């Protein structure tokens, strides 16, 4: 389920995936979220790529999301960024056989080669 997030002074927005630290949001609320997430992830597609990069990316910085990931299925890459002093700083771009530990999930080892088959659309959909 894509989380709907509604903040004061902003329209509701829906990242593909988002996460909150337990020390900020202890329980999952019902309905729309009222607290900006700590992490958001967007899956770039031809129909949403420009909007995600040109509209959502600066909006996410403005509302203070600390970590932003972009998954590009066509390029088979993961772009990881961190918000520092109001600006996005690229942590790295990773692909295929990379094994990574990146913010905000440094404690988890991610094997990107195992991720792509889970995200690729199945034929006929």
Neighbours of 7 (CB within 10 A): 15
**Chain length of the chain:** 125
Structural element, H or E, at residue 119: helix 112-119
Pair of tokens at residue 108: 């988890």
Pair of tokens at residue 96: 């295929």
Pair of tokens at residue 15: 């990242």
How many Å is the Cα radius of gyration of the chain? Answer: 15
pTM for the full predicted model? 0.82
pLDDT digits (tens, 9 = 90+) for 55-88: 899 989 988 999 999 999 889 999 999 999 999 9
pLDDT digits (tens, 9 = 90+) for 37-48: 899 999 998 998
Kind of pairing between the strands at 67-72 and 39-44: parallel
């Amino acid at each position: 389920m894509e989380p709907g997030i509604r903040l004061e002074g902003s329209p509701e927005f829906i990242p593909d995936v988002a996460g909150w630290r337990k020390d900020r949001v202890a329980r999952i609320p019902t309905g729309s979220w009222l607290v900006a997430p700590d992490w958001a992830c967007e899956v770039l597609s031809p129909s949403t790529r420009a909007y995600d990069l040109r509209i959502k990316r600066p909006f996410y910085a403005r509302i203070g999301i600390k970590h932003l990931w972009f998954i590009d299925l066509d390029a088979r890459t993961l772009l990881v960024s961190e918000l520092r002093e109001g600006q996005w700083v690229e942590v790295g771009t990773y692909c295929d056989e990379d094994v990574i530990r990146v913010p905000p999930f440094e404690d988890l080892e991610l094997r990107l080669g195992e991720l792509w088959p889970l995200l690729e659309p199945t034929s006929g959909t």
